[in-house]
Amino acid sequence: MDTVDTRPEATAARTRTHSLTRRRPVQRLLGDAAGSRLKRTMGVTQLTLLSVGATLGTGIFVVLGQAVPEAGPAVVISFVLAGVTALFSALSYAELAGMIPGSGSSYSYAYATLGELVAWVCGWCLILEYGVSVAAVAVGWGQYVNELLELTFGVSLPDSLSAPPGAGGTLNVPAALIVVLAMVVLLRGAKESAVANTVMVGVKIAALVLFCAVAFTAFRAGNFHPLFPLGAAGMSAGAASLFFSYIGFDAASTAGEEARNPQRDLPRAIILSLVLVTVLYVLVAVAALGAMPWKQFAGTEATLSEVLVRAVGGGNLWPVLLSVGAVVATTSVVLTVQYGQIRILFAMARDGLLPPLFAKVHPRTGVPRANTVIVSGFIAVLAALVPLGSLADATSIGTLFAFMLVNLAVVLLRRRSPDIPRSFRVPLSPLTPLLGVGFCVYMLGSLGADTWIAFGAWMAAGLVVYGLYGIRHSQLNQSRDLV
């Protein structure tokens, strides 16, 4: 007959192993959100603009010049494919955000369905997704600032101060600067940050509409023939790179504890923002490719501005206006995605998986101040030292893994917690979320080996952090009401 080892160290080991798969009940997550010390100041308009601010601009202003050489004119279809992949996940996010309106986003959803270890993996992916994407967009911000200086004053910053090592420079000062400026705004409070974002979103939508109006004057249908010069594989590779452009739509889900009516407004904001962004992306891509042959996109940085300079002409007026809009657009993305990163770390720290310093809220502003400063400092260093291409691909792989878990969470919670009120329900479940999983797997297969190696190293580091700190301090080791 087998005997059970009752030694204290053996009992502790069994407890830790069991806690890896134990789940935090949805009612407990709802209680955490209800008792949050964050201030509820956002309505559906602010939440929608938060998601638009985090999404719109990233792929068009920054990554388009890298995706077009991969896919050719089929990059228009790549945008649609990436948008459809995002749509399946957006529907799942909408259901879960209305059901569990906390700050943890997909990390919290995974905690309620798949257990603590998977939740940690999801949270670690989100740290990669949000933090690295802020750095990538900050690099793009520096490129457009340089373009604006060149167009208006005929000068530009030297590569040593505007490009990272490996890209001809020493330190990307503008990229680090915009992260620090966003930190200053975020420290003032969620309401003030939302007002600043609303203004910037209006400016960048106007800039993209202006670009389309001007670029369509030089439109040539022949630029789209052949549509698939690099084949279906090129289209898929372009879609995988451009998926980076859609990561912001889930930003509203990180504001669940600062929304006035989260169950009603979060699902609406997520869906509305994704639809608006996809329509604008496709329109701008069609206008850009119609104005300039796809082979000329290779090596471009401030891509849309260069389209106007090379293909449209007419002096510097349009490129200057567009560059101003691009600077504002990328500023908005840095601000809102940085906000989301901080709120996710706040939720993880509240659960004990990260040091409590990240969950400490300033009593006057209602902002996790230390969290904001630490995260911003880390991102500023990353933006100053890492090239754009590496950042974009790393963001895509972290995002796709997180989205896979969100889709699975919908299926599992429908089975385990069918009676909990849902303000939005994914249509045709479980087919729709399972299709979301399938699209994510397909896009993951299009990413390069270098990206997978970097992702593996990142996940290994995350498991070390979890083993040394998270599992020892998790509330699972102090609570008895978990499952």
pLDDT in tens, the chain (483 residues): 444 444 544 444 444 445 677 777 777 777 776 677 777 888 888 888 888 888 886 667 767 887 888 899 999 999 888 888 888 888 998 888 888 877 777 888 888 888 888 889 888 888 877 777 788 778 778 877 887 888 788 888 887 887 777 667 778 888 889 999 999 999 988 778 888 888 988 988 998 898 899 899 889 999 999 999 989 888 888 887 787 677 777 778 887 788 888 888 888 888 899 889 889 989 999 999 999 999 888 877 668 878 887 777 666 788 788 888 888 888 888 888 888 889 889 989 988 999 999 999 888 888 899 999 999 998 898 888 876 555 666 667 877 888 888 899 899 889 888 888 888 899 998 999 999 999 888 878 877 788 888 888 888 999 999 999 988 888 876 665 555
Cα–Cα distances in Å, from 194 out to 139, 199, 324, 377?
A: 23, 9, 20, 22
Q: What CA–CA distances, in Å, run from 273 to 56, 90, 94?
A: 9, 10, 11
Residue matched to tokens 């700190």: 469
What gap in Å lies between CA 342 and CA 331, rounded to an integer? 17
CA 304, 308, 313 angle in degrees (round to 5)? 170
Task: Answer whether 99's CB lies under 8 Å from 420's CB.
Answer: yes
Q: Residue 187 in contact with residue 368, Cβ under 8 Å? A: no
Query: For residues 326 and 349, what is the distance between their CA atoms, to the nearest angstrom?
Result: 35
Q: Rounded to an integer, what distance in angstroms lies between the CA atom of residue 193 and that of residue 372?
A: 13
Dist CA 207 CA 231 (whole Å): 32
The total number of residues written for the chain in this structure: 483
Instruction: Name the pTM for this structure.
Output: 0.78
Neighbours of 418 (CB within 10 A): 8
The per-residue pLDDT for 14 is 45
Whether cis (ω within 30° of 0) applies to the bond prior to 267 is no
Q: What is the pLDDT of residue 478?
A: 65
**In the prediction, which pLDDT does 13 show?**
47
Q: Which two tokens stand for residue 401?
A: 């893994």
C-alpha distance from residue 37 to each of 367, 373, 375, 444, 461 (Å): 9, 19, 20, 38, 31
- Name the amino acid, one letter, at 174: P
- Residues 41 and 190: beta-carbon distance below 8 Å: yes
Q: Tell me, what amino acid is at 477?
A: N
Is 281 within 8 Å of 83 (Cβ atoms)?
yes
Cα–Cα distance, 320 to 181 (Å, whole number): 22
The shares of helix, strand and coil residues in the chain, as percent rounded to the nearest 5, are 75, 0, 25
